[in-house]
Amino acid sequence: MTDTIVPDSEARGLLARLPETPRVLAQLARLDRPIGWWLLFWPGAWAVALAGGGFARWPLIAWLLLGSIAMRGAGCVFNDIVDRDLDRKVARTAARPLASGTMALKTAWAWLLALCLVGLIVLLQLRPMAQIVALGSLALVAAYPFMKRITWWPQAWLGLTFNWGLLVGWATLADANWGVAIAVYLACVAWTIGYDTIYAVQDKEDDALVGIRSSALRMGGKVKQGVATCYALAVALWALGFWLLRADPVAWLTLLPVAWHLGWQVVTLDEKAPGNPLHRFRANRWAGFLFAAACFVVGNAGA
User: Is residue 2 situated within a structural domain?
Assistant: no
Nearest CA-CA partner of 159 in 149, 147, 171, 150 = 147
What are the pLDDT digits (tens) for 204-241? 877 777 778 889 899 988 999 999 999 999 999 999 99
231: nearest Cα among 202, 201, 193, 285: 193
Give pLDDT, residue 2: 40
Give me the percent of the chain exceeding a pLDDT of 70: 94
Nearest by Cα to 40 from 214, 169, 150, 224? 169
pLDDT of residue 176: 80
Condensed to tens digits (0 to 9), the pLDDT of residues 123-168 reads 999 999 999 999 999 899 889 888 988 999 999 999 999 999 999 9
Whether 303 is in a domain gets the answer no
Q: Is residue 105 part of a domain?
A: yes
In a domain, 12, yes or no: no
Q: Is position 10 within any domain?
A: no
Query: Domain residues for 57?
Result: 17-298
Q: What is the mean pLDDT of the chain?
A: 89
Rounded to two decimals, the pTM is 0.89
Total domains, the chain: 1
Residue 85 pLDDT > 90: no
* 159 in Cβ contact with 188 (< 8 Å): yes
CATH code assigned at 169: 1.10.357.140
